[in-house]
Every structure is written in structure tokens, then in C-alpha cells.
Chains A and B, each alone.
Chain A
Amino acid sequence: MKAVIRITLKNGVLDPQGKAIETALGQLGFSGVDDVRQGKLVELSLAETDPEKARQQLTQICEKLLANTVIENYDIELVS
């Protein structure tokens, strides 16, 4: 079973990288681009075939390592 995990900064957490991207886009002439936020995307394969158990395992993976929940949210998508 494959999964995609998106890790994003929580609302209200300053994102200097997102700001720098936004500034660069403005300099490239893309007008009207606002609220740029950047994050991480992790793809992985699991031996687990039961979607419910896979989701539980992925939640643990996110909580223990992939996301720092002080500043980050995570979103788990089971792809197949």
C-alpha cells in the first residue's frame, strides 16, 4: 500500500521560505501571488494492506518522526 504524506506549517507559524518564494515570484513578474506557504511531501510504501491499520501506522510515523507537531500539521493520503 502506497501513501503520500503532506507536512505543512501550522497557521500563524512564520514561514520565511514561503515569504522568500513569494518575493521571488513577484520579481519574476507573477503579480497577484499571495500567501505562499511551503512544506514537505513524503511518499512511502507499506507492507500493511488494511487501510485502517495502515492509517494508524502512518499516524504513529508522523507523530514520532515525520512532523514536529509544535509547528507542523500532517495530512495522510492512501494512494493504493
Chain B
Amino acid sequence: MSVAVIVFPGSNCDRDVAVCLAAALGEPPIMAWHGDHNLPKVDAIILPGGFSYGDYLRGGAIASKSPIMGEVIEAANRGVPVLGICNGFQILTESGLLPGVLMRNSGLKFICRDVALEVGNTDNAFLNAYQRGQHITMPIAHNEGNYFADADTLQRLEDEDRIVLRYAGGNPNGAQLNIAGIRNKAGNVIGMMPHPERLAEAVLGGEDGRGVFDSLVQTLGRS
């Protein structure tokens, strides 16, 4: 099984994600550069956090148009599991793979701290190691995490059970419906603002994030 981590200029969580993947999978992931037109055939793709293209224009806007994203979109449409973390989530909304947009935090401050989360739908490649309703902790670190979508889209997300993570200990950024993570209709594309890779081993102060990588191993092992 092989997993690709897409590296954009300004990504800064790519190596942390690679460490977590290597620990869970037993082999290092493929690090794929944003300018590549050819993505090797992989079983899953992760878009890591960071500040791709310096967040110019809008967070994730320019990265979503980079050459490799054409390949990522094609893979996503084929059903390959794709996870976007933080800036990766912003890239997924900007690319149209996920609905809505991540706006500036309502308090206008960059927020970097652990937050309490409640797990929603776990029927996907990145959250199946958790239980629905489980309360977990993960760090957030963002300036644009304020999830916004029109009323129809929000209703659809609720009706189709596509909210995978919600803020549970107060809403840090103004996100509608306390949304911290969503999935696409097919369920293979997930975006989340919290950083599982930053709390995935005991030495970091907790292991609540490790389930994301364990989920992927379970999924790929099963398929």
C-alpha cells in the first residue's frame, strides 16, 4: 500500500504527516511535489497543513490550481481516499472537492491550541478507528477556519450525515454548525481543520490523533 503526501511551497506539516504515516504503515509515504503533472498510482492522498503560496489571494486558492491538483481531483473522483488537514482542507474547498469555504476566524486572531472535538460520521478511510460521539482532543492552528456555506449546503451536510468532526468545547472560530471537518458525498474525501499529526504519539502529549492514521491502515489493509 502506498500513500502520497502532496508538498506545496509553504507546506509545513508534510514531514509530521510523513512521520505518522511511516509509523502506522511501516513504510514512508511518497512525497509528491505540487509542480508534478504525474502522481504515481497510490492508495490514498494527504494534503498537509501549512501556508501554501503564503495564503496569497485566499488560503489554498493558488495551491488548488497547481499542476498536481488535477491528478488529485481525478484520483478523488475515482474513489481514492483523500484527506486535507487545515490548509489541505482549504485547498479541497477551493478545488471544489468539498463544498463551502474556510473564512477568516470570527475573532480575527490566529488560533493555536488544543480543542475538544466530537466525532461524527466515521464511515470513511480516515476516522473509522473512532466511535461516533466520541470526544477527542486535537490541536488547531489556523487563521482561516471559520467554515461557511449557504443554508442549502449546510442542510445537505446534515441530512447526508457528512459532518465528521465538530467543535465540542466552544466554537473557536465562528464555524457554522461547529463544523471542524466534513466529507464529500461519496465519503472518500475528508477535510478537517484540526491537526491529528500534532497529537499522534505520547511524547507529544497525547495520542488522540493517531486514530486517523490507524484508520487508514485498517482501510487499506481491508481493501
Write the nearest CB–CB distance from B6 to chain A, whole angstroms: 19
- A16 within 8 A of partner (CB): yes
* 8 A-B pairs in the complex with CB atoms less than 8 angstroms apart: A13-B103, A13-B148, A14-B148, A16-B104, A16-B174, A64-B65, A70-B101, A70-B149
Interface of chain A, main secondary structure: helix
Within residues 17 to 62 of chain B, which ones have a CB less than 8 A from any CB in chain A?
Answer: 57-58, 61-62
Are A66 and B57 within 8 A (Cβ)? yes
Are A14 and B150 within 8 A (Cβ)? no
Residue positions of B touching A, CB distance < 8 A: 57-58, 61-62, 65, 93-94, 99-101, 103-108, 146, 148-150, 174
A1-32: contact bitstring with B at CB < 8 Å (1 yes, 0 no)? 00000000000011011001000000000000
In Å, the complex CA distance between A71 and B101 comes to 8
- A33 within 8 A of partner (CB): no
Are A16 and B150 within 8 A (Cβ)? no
Query: Which residues from A are CB-within-8-Å of B61?
Result: 65, 68
In Å, the complex CA distance between A65 and B93 comes to 13
In Å, the complex CA distance between A6 and B150 comes to 22
Are B148 and A70 within 8 A (Cβ)? yes
Query: Which residues from B are CB-within-8-Å of A16?
Result: 104-108, 174
Residue of A nearest to B58 (CB): A68
Of A14, A17, A65, A70, the residue contacting B57 (CB under 8 A) is A65
Query: Which residues from A are CB-within-8-Å of B149?
Result: 70
Q: How many A-B residue pairs have CB under 8 A?
A: 36
- Given A14-B146, A17-B108, 20 more pairs with CB closer than 8 A: A14-B148, A16-B105, A16-B107, A16-B108, A16-B174, A65-B61, A65-B62, A65-B65, A66-B57, A68-B58, A68-B94, A68-B101, A70-B93, A70-B100, A70-B101, A70-B148, A70-B150, A71-B101, A71-B103, A71-B148
Interface residue tally for chain A (C-beta within 8 Å): 11
Residue of B nearest to A71 (CB): B101
Most B CB within 10 A of own CB, among A13, A20, A64, A71: A71
In Å, the complex CA distance between A64 and B150 comes to 20
Are A14 and B65 within 8 A (Cβ)? no
Residue of B nearest to A9 (CB): B103
